[in-house]
Amino acid sequence: MVAEERVCPCGGGPYAGCCEPFHAGAAEAHTAETLMRSRYSAFALGLDDYLWRTWHPRTRPEHVALDDTVWTHLEIVDVVDGTERDQAGIVEFVAHYRNGRRDGQMRERSRFERRGRRWMYVDGEQRP
């Protein structure tokens, strides 16, 4: 019997071949969108240390505190730059969630910058 592969929360396929290498420190995200997807998955999996490490030091909080929100689905709305050749990029997304009995969504236009050779989350503007 073959073990069932765990699906990545970001929707990119099996977790082992998607966001897990980033979370484990075995690889670095090569685009702003890849970093954004891995950060969404980190929220879904409760990996606050990964969120802190991938937050730009200029804007990151002292601590990342996660709550009991259950992140259920991710949609990428827009991507501006953020390729392997860029120094900055923007990713707009809609993250669907369940908090208690309430379903909802959060839409954000996030900014990313390279720091050295690593993509980092800078900040985001939430949208209606």
CATH number of the domain bearing residue 75: 3.10.450.50
Task: Evaluate whether residue 8 is within a structural domain.
Answer: no
Total-model pTM: 0.94
Residue 6 is assigned to a structural domain of this protein: no
Residue 1 lies in a domain: no
In a domain, 23, yes or no: yes
pLDDT of residue 4: 62
Residue 9 maps to a domain: no
Sheet holding 70-81, edge to edge: 70-81, 88-99, 102-115, 118-127
Lowest-pLDDT range of 2-6, 12-16, 60-64: 2-6
Q: Is residue 95 part of a domain?
A: yes
Q: Is residue 96 part of a domain?
A: yes
How many domains, in total, are found in the chain?
1
For residue 128, the model assigns a pLDDT of 86
* Domain containing residue 42: 15-60+68-127
Per this entry, what is the length of the chain?
A: 128
Q: Residue 60: exposed, middle, or buried by beta-carbon count in 10 A (0-12, 13-18, 19+)?
A: middle
